[in-house]
Structure formats: C-alpha cells, structure tokens
C-alpha cells in the first residue's frame, strides 16, 4: 500500500508539472480497442485514484449487460504518458476496471486477465517473470476510402510509395518495386522521418524501442520493435504505441493501419512475440548445447504453444482478415512447427543464441487485431501448460523442420498440423481446447464464452455482405 501511495503522489506531482490541460483515463474493451474518459486538470488529484471514475460497461464491447452496467475506472499511477493531439496537451493513464459497488476487479477486464496469468506463473514455481517482445508491423497509406451501401461496396487504397493510385496507371519516381521494401532507404522509403517521429514519441512515453525499419511490402509497410517487458506491461506498451503511431500518422497526412492483410499479393502485417522466462535473475530458456542453445524447459514451452496453437489463434489472430495473411509465400506461418531461424515455422528460434540473455523463442502467427492483454496471457498459459505436462514438441510431431515448410509436398506435409483457415475454425478449436486457459483463474468460462460470442457475431455480420470479387466472378452466372 505504501508503494502505491508513493506512486500516486509521484504521478500527481509529475502530471501537474507537465503543463497539461486534461487527464485521459484509458481502458481496453474485451476485443482490445481503447476508450477514454477525459477530466480537466482542475479535477485531478488523490481522489481520482481513490474513487476512480464511473462509466457504463453495457456500452462497451464484451463488458456488461444493460441491467448491470455500472463499472469504475481506476488509473494505474505507474503507467501514464504525456501526449499532444491537435495542439491540446494532456496526460493519459491506463486504467483497471472494477465493479462499481464492491471495488473488486472486473472479471472481463483484459488487463486483469493478463495480471492473473502473470500471478499464476509465479505460483507454479516455474519462473518469477515472463518477458515478451513484440514486433509491430503496419502500413502507412496516403489515403484509404471505404464505401458501402446496398448498391455500392468496396475500398480504395492510395500509396504513392508503391505507385498505387486508383485513378492512374502512372508511377512517380522514386517508387518501391513490389515486395522489395525490406530495409529500404530514403528517398524510396518515404516515411523514414515519420517513423523516427513515432519512435521519439514512444520513447518519450516510456516505451523503449529496439529499432525501426521499412518492411518487405512496398506500400509503406513498416516495423517498430519494442524491447521486452512483462506480459501486462508489454500489452500496455502495444496499445500506447498503436495509439501514438496512428495519431502521428494522421498529423503527417497519412493513414496508419495494423490490419493483417490490407493488400492482396503484398505481405501482411504480423505482431510476432519473442518470449522467455526468468527465475532468480537467470534466463531459464538457455542451455548451452541444447537445440538452438535452448533448455528442455524452453522446448516444453514451445510444445505447449504448438499443441494449443489452433485454440491460441482465436486470441492471437482475432479477425477474419487475419487468415488472409496466414497463407504460403509471405513469411506468415501456415503450419504448427518449430525450427532454428525458419520464418515459415510458427515458432522460430533465432539463430546465433550464444549468451543466456539472448535465449528466446518467437511466436510468429499473431497479429495486431488481437487484444494484446488476452494474447500474451493465452500464450503464457499455453507455454506453462507445456512445461507442466512436459510436452515435447519433437515427440508430438512438431519438428524441428529446418526447411521451408511452404515447399513440402503433400506426402512430406502429412501429419503436420495446419493453422486454422478461418477465425471460425479457430473459435471452434477454442471451444474444444481451453482448459489450459482456466489455470490460475486467468480466463474464466464466462470470458471464453463471451469472446466466442462477440467474434461469432463479427463473422456473421461480414458473411452477410456480398464481396466485390463475388460480383466479378458470378455476375454472369
């Protein structure tokens, strides 16, 4: 309690010295979208942390029913940042959601679920901490138009960097050749300076960045890699980063999008997660001489990720669009296998692990349509289950496959478990395989049922709308 009181005091002093006009209280709904309530700085003080701010949970996706909607936002005094939008300077706190009457944590608050997964890891005695390092991939487009009515449906994306102009077949030099944007430099990389502004804003908000660069896609595809942190704090950082990237892009006159597959024939946007466990200050994923210099415990963790992979994707690849990215030929994995340095594998072990601090594994199917709190919690719980049950990925038939899995013929690929072909398949897998998520009461059956219900409604809504390609294919039938 003393530590929290000190944190509250420090944050109040720091915010009031920051020359801000408003304080934003931000929280994530069940699907991972941010919301906020804004209070003037004159109404900000110790009572903000003691009483919180009431809000209607029934108006938030996946939260409460109309007849029992009252919840409260309780700002975390240790997670805040200063931002400026449209010349208005404000401080933003990430909040926990609690029941309005009892003050108890709200069971569907995704941040609380991530916290419970972290706590469960400690209770097992396996490790003291987990660390996750996300790679954020996104596109920067000059313009995006979306039009939809009973008579008109479609979208138009403009990218001068790739020469994509719906009204013209001409290209203005310099442009990037399709799928040749990896580590491009200015002037072909038109967004280097804008990405640097994004990185500066992220670091000013307390998010340490490893590096940034242009990605393979020619239409402004970019990557910013965040340094590792604990699961809940990593998810905080992802939401802050996505917010800042979108705001700075808009101020620069472009559109930032994390949608997994915005362009047919171009690489999609993933959100790969590097992961490792720490016990008594040591990285317990490391063992010199092991496969990839990984310990047996690390391999069991991989076994858990791969065995529960189809259910896991219901949280890590949480949109119908996610499964348009998970196709052969674009470095997005299509099979649940593991290997050293293999980007066609669902779990990649980075090459050249020579020191304990470098030991980690990378889960590659995930993307930014996920709620990051639920994604990191689900991955951690799957890995823990692998350790508890000694799930050996080699004995389970998950590899290692040190070859391009996309190039395997049907006979060679027989027995390899494929990723789901749709969100519907992933949700069905989650229905059948979710016991590992219930450990430590991290996920409750209610949360899983609600998630399936919310995502099933998304699927049904999309399925009711005719697709432009359907009109093209079947108009003359």
- Which residues are marked as active site? 56, 135, 137, 215, 223, 272, 343, 362, 364
Q: Is 403 exposed, middle or buried (0-12, 13-18, 19+ CB in 10 A)?
A: middle
Q: How far is residue 418's CA from residue 405's CA, in Å, rounded to a whole number?
A: 11
Tokens of 29: 């709904």
- For 371-401, the DSSP string reads -HHHHHHHHHHHHHHHHHTT--TTTTT----
Nearest to 5 by CA among 70, 50, 37: 50
Instruction: Identify the residue whose tokens are 């997670």.
Output: 79
Q: Of 191, 189, 222, 226, which is closest to residue 209 (Cα–Cα)?
A: 226
The Cα diameter of the chain in Å comes to: 73
- Joined together, the tokens standing for residue 149 give 């009515």
Q: What is the DSSP track for 147-180?
A: EESSS-EEEEEEBTTTTBBTTBS--PSS-PPTT-
According to DSSP, the residues that pair with 136 across neighbouring strands are 224
Round to whole Å and give the CA distance between 455 and 322.
13
Instruction: Give the start-end residues of each E strand in 100-253.
Output: 129-141, 143-148, 153-158, 209-214, 221-226
Nearest to 365 by CA among 428, 317, 431: 317
Task: Check if the beta carbon of residue 398 is closer than 8 Å to that of residue 306.
Answer: yes
């Amino acid at each position: 309690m003393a530590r929290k009181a000190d944190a509250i005091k420090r944050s109040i002093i720091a915010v009031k010295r920051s020359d801000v006009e408003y304080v934003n209280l931000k929280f994530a709904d069940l699907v991972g979208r941010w919301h906020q309530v804004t209070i003037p700085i004159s109404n900000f003080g110790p009572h903000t942390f003691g009483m919180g701010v009431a809000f209607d949970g029934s108006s938030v996706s996946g939260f409460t029913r109309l007849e029992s909607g009252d919840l409260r936002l309780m700002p975390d005094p240790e997670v805040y940042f200063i931002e400026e939008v449209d010349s208005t300077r404000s401080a933003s706190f990430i909040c926990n959601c609690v029941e309005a009457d009892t003050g108890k944590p709200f069971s569907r608050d995704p941040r609380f679920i991530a916290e419970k997964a972290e706590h469960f890891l400690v209770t097992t005695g396996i490790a003291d901490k987990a660390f996750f390092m996300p790679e954020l991939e996104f596109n920067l487009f000059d313009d995006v138009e979306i039009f939809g009515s009973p008579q008109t449906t479609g979208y138009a994306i403009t990218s001068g960097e790739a020469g994509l102009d719906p009204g013209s077949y001409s290209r203005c030099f310099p442009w990037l050749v399709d799928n040749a944007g990896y580590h491009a430099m200015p002037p072909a990389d038109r967004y280097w300076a804008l990405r640097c502004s994004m990185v500066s804003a992220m670091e000013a908000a307390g998010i340490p960045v490893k590096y940034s660069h242009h990605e393979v896609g020619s239409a402004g595809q970019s990557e910013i890699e965040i340094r590792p942190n604990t699961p809940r704090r990593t998810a905080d950082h992802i939401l802050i980063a996505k917010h800042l990237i979108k705001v700075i892009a808009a101020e620069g006159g472009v559109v930032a999008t994390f949608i997994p597959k915005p362009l047919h024939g171009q690489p999609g946007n993933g959100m790969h997660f590097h992961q490792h466990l720490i016990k008594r200050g040591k990285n317990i994923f490391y063992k010199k001489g092991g496969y990839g210099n990984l310990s047996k415990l690390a391999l069991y963790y991989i076994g858990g990720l791969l065995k529960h992979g189809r259910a896991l994707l219901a949280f890590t690849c949480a949109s119908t669009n996610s499964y348009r990215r998970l196709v052969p030929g674009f470095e997005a994995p299509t099979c649940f296998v593991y290997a050293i340095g293999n980007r066609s594998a669902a779990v990649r072990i980075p090459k050249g692990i020579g020191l304990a601090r470098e030991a980690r594994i990378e889960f590659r199917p995930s993307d930014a349509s996920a709620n990051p709190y639920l994604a990191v919690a689900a991955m951690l719980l799957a890995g823990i289950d692998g350790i508890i049950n000694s799930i050996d990925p080699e004995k389970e038939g998950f590899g290692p496959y040190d070859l391009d899995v996309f190039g395997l013929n049907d006979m060679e690929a027989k027995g390899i478990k494929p990723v789901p072909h749709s969100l519907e398949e992933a949700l069905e897998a989650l229905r059948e395989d979710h016991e590992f998520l219930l450990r430590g009461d991290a996920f409750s059956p209610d949360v899983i049922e609600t998630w399936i219900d919310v995502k099933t409604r998304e699927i049904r809504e999309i399925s009711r709308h005719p697709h432009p390609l359907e009109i093209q294919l079947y108009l003359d039938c």
